[in-house]
Structure 1
Amino acid sequence: MQPQKSMMPARVEFDLSLTRTLVPLKDMSEAHLLELLSNSDSEIICAGQTIFARGSYDAHHIYLLHGNVRLVDENNGATLVKGRSSLLPIAHHQPRLVTAIAESDCSVLRVDSERLDKLLAWSQVADYLQLNISRQRDLDEDIDWMMTVLKSNLFFKVPPINVEEIFSLLTPQVVYAGDVVIRQGELGDRCYFIKEGQAEVWRHNESGRQLLAGVGVGRCFGEDALVNEAPRNASVVMKTDGVLMTLNKQDFFRLLKEPQVASVSLESYAEKIATGAVAVDVRSEEEYSELHLNSAVNIPLNLLGIKSRMLDKNRTYIFYCNTGRRSRAAAHLLTQQGYQAFALDDCVNLFSQTRWQPLLDSSSNFLLRDGVAQKGT
């Protein structure tokens, strides 16, 4: 059974309600999901076309939205996958272990795996931070603007592990109606978020002064100054009294550098577990159910703020995911809370190299009770 020659697929519009059910896309905030989809492709694949070939590496999550796909392995054995029978990506393994051929006309969603992983971790750390903020009564009035800040695409390039640091680097500035915060033509070295008040964006050109937009609470302006040396292309004037939070270029670059997180190697993992450490899978419940480390419990990163109270600060926890990004963020966040938390090194190799298969389990689930892992019933 030979794969058919690939053809250029036709792009189609996204069905957002359908996309929101996919794993792990369903665990992202709408702002992060829309940012992800802005650089993703939804395609129509004609019957007989090859979606991907065995042995290839395409660095994409590919979801079957409609239609049927035949998966052909190295022994020419075939498995039929029907549309919507799974919310997980099709045979997601790099390099590909099978060839996927459209059995009927199909629609698929292609998502860049690296971009998905970054935005997913970012979104879920923001969820963790939102819960922590909501628990601090003195921040009740700040929740709305702080969460709007976290949804700003300015920070999507910041490693998720640094999300907590954003607010510590913002400096308050009291402003009054009529104040010119940014002046067109000047060089800038900082951006601004509106905590209180409203501003207007104006541009001067040959025909005069033109109002471009109004800017409200939580919105950012002047961010171009953080990434280039070009003069300001517009002026921003306060419409009302208010409070701005400023972030300078030097601090923004600090946010782009990911700190080191204490880790445990795959080679020493079994020994750590034997001496009482607990493995924690921070992927979604669906990802965990498909395949996970033997004896590992499941605490999805977006639920970490709620379930961290089930952990014991006197016990060692080893966090892992499928890339290391979500697990490093989890280990860092809990270390800040006083837990003995480590990230597992080489998470990608855990699921891609056959030497680690004896450590994996697809049939038994484990629950966290009194801070330790116990097999579920």
Structure 2
Amino acid sequence: MIFTSGASVHEPYYACETSIDTLHEHAVATARTLVPLNALQPRFLTDLAPHIAVQALSAGDLLFAEGSVDHQHIYLLFGEVELFNGVGLPERVRAEATSAPLAHQQPRPCSAVATSDTTVVRIDSDLLDRSLSWSQISQYLMSELALQRDLDEDIEWMQTVVNSNLFLKVPPVNVEQIFARLTPMVVHAGERILRQGEIGDCCYFIKEGEAVVGVYNEVTGTVENVAKIGPGRCFGEDALVYEKPRNASITMTTDGVLMRLEQADFDLLLHEASVDEVAANELGGLPEFPTLIDVRTDEEYATGHLACSGNIPLSLLSMKKRLLSPGNRYVFYCNSGRRSRAAAYLLGKEGYNVMSLAGGIDGANLGDQLVAGENYVLRDGHLVSGQ
């Protein structure tokens, strides 16, 4: 957690002496009310919280300048700011009146200046987008798995895997492939699975049982146990990701079952699957103009979306895909293209005629074309006004 204080966004952030635990607790509690952080599952919100910067400003301090590019979501937690771009009257925004990021468009469409003692939160937009993608895809996968009755006894374990540390290293679009590539392995108490210093050729998930992580102490010449790990935990993946020797030993403390993922399969998972994409300026050149579907959260959609587009959040895609007609062409979009590529990949495999908007709203510079209050819903595969 970073706490900052300063008058200019051009100045570096410096940590000050304050309670890290208090700031962390405050940031997590506040994030649960902010759009779209309120859509994150608790595990992903907890992982994101240490990367949140809390900044204190005084009246007259500049929060951001018109035309600047900072690639951040900036939220007003306390106080009041004034937004102005030299055209028309300035807009005053109070913390209690908004849960959406301030003037969220790059480059910034206006300047923001604090008009009172003010506290804001800054979050790296790409990091937040990744967390949203992982969180919402895990919800999609669990919805799909819940429909497979033959997997009932494995649902809880599979849900743990989806929320595991390996999940954060794999492109979101590839996550569902993990289960198909895992092979079971029965192990026994006292069995050493990994040895520190060896070259890695696979990684493991613990399906059943517990293990201990040991690290060699060069001073004492002994292996010291530093952590215990249990079901759902992945280990050994760092040696594959960074192509370095194992940095710890893993020994089973109970009998159990591991799921092994070979390096060749792991390498395939690191490369994002191919997805059909279309640039914004090419939409009119398609055989027929497609139906645009916003796969962000419903609150993101309500804040501002492309004109004449519907909304099916990625997390609800499993339940709401029945609203789409396999014979119609759809183009999914989101902020970066990350969530829309995942949605297009998942439904494309099922035979739907789907594409992703290349670069998303941000990459296609469509931020100034977003509208609010003009909502559409899907009926018989087509959009109709939701008013």
Q: TM-score under structure 1 normalisation?
A: 0.90
CA distance in 2, matches of 1:267, 1:118: 26
Are 2:214 and 2:227, in contact at CA under 8 Å, matched by a contact in 1? yes
- 1:7-63 per-residue CA deviation (whole Å, 9 max, x = no partner) reads 667767142222111111111111212222222211212221111111110110101
Superposed, 1:93-132 pairs within 5 Å as: 93-132=105-144
- Deviating 4+ runs (over 6 angstroms): 9-12
* Structure 1 partner of 2:201: 189
* Structure 2 partner of 1:334: 347
CA distance in 2, matches of 1:239, 1:353: 55
Q: Are the structure 2 counterparts of residues 99 and 164 from structure 1 closer, same or farther at C-alpha, using a change threshold of 3 Å?
A: same
Name whichever of 58-67 and 171-180 sits farther off.
171-180
* Structure 1 partner of 2:319: 306
- 1:210-231 per-residue CA deviation (whole Å, 9 max, x = no partner) reads 4333221111222331133544
Aligned residues: CA RMSD: 2.4
Are 1:71 and 1:100, in contact at CA under 8 Å, matched by a contact in 2? yes
Q: Which amino acid aligns with 2:253?
A: K
Match among 249, 252, 266 for residue 263 of structure 2: 249
* Structure 2 partner of 1:290: 303
CA distance in 1, matches of 2:234, 2:336: 31
Residue 103 of structure 1: how far off its partner (Å):
0.8
User: Unmatched 5+ residue regions in structure 1?
Assistant: none
Residue 299 of structure 1: how far off its partner (Å):
0.7
CA distance in 2, matches of 1:366, 1:283: 14
* Structure 1 partner of 2:237: 223
CA distance in 2, matches of 1:56, 1:171: 50
Q: Are the structure 2 counterparts of residues 283 and 203 from structure 1 closer, same or farther at C-alpha, using a change threshold of 3 Å?
A: closer
Tell me the percent identity.
Answer: 46
* Structure 2 partner of 1:172: 184
CA distance in 2, matches of 1:307, 1:200: 43
Are 1:190 and 1:222, in contact at CA under 8 Å, matched by a contact in 2? yes
Residue 126 of structure 1: how far off its partner (Å):
1.0
Residue 345 of structure 1: how far off its partner (Å):
2.4
Q: Are the structure 2 counterparts of residues 233 and 286 from structure 1 closer, same or farther at C-alpha, using a change threshold of 3 Å?
A: closer
- 1:97-126 per-residue CA deviation (whole Å, 9 max, x = no partner) reads 111111111111100011111111111111
Superposed, 1:1-377 pairs within 5 Å as: 13-14=23-24, 15=26, 16-75=28-87, 77-205=89-217, 206=220, 208-270=222-284, 272=286, 275=288, 277-348=290-361, 352-353=365-366, 357=369, 361-377=371-387
Q: Are the structure 2 counterparts of residues 294 and 202 from structure 1 closer, same or farther at C-alpha, using a change threshold of 3 Å?
A: closer
Q: TM-score under structure 2 normalisation?
A: 0.88
Q: Are the structure 2 counterparts of residues 289 and 177 from structure 1 closer, same or farther at C-alpha, using a change threshold of 3 Å?
A: same
CA distance in 2, matches of 1:361, 1:227: 42
CA distance in 2, matches of 1:43, 1:113: 16
- 1:273-326 per-residue CA deviation (whole Å, 9 max, x = no partner) reads x94632211112222223222221111111111111222222221111122111
CA distance in 1, matches of 2:127, 2:318: 24
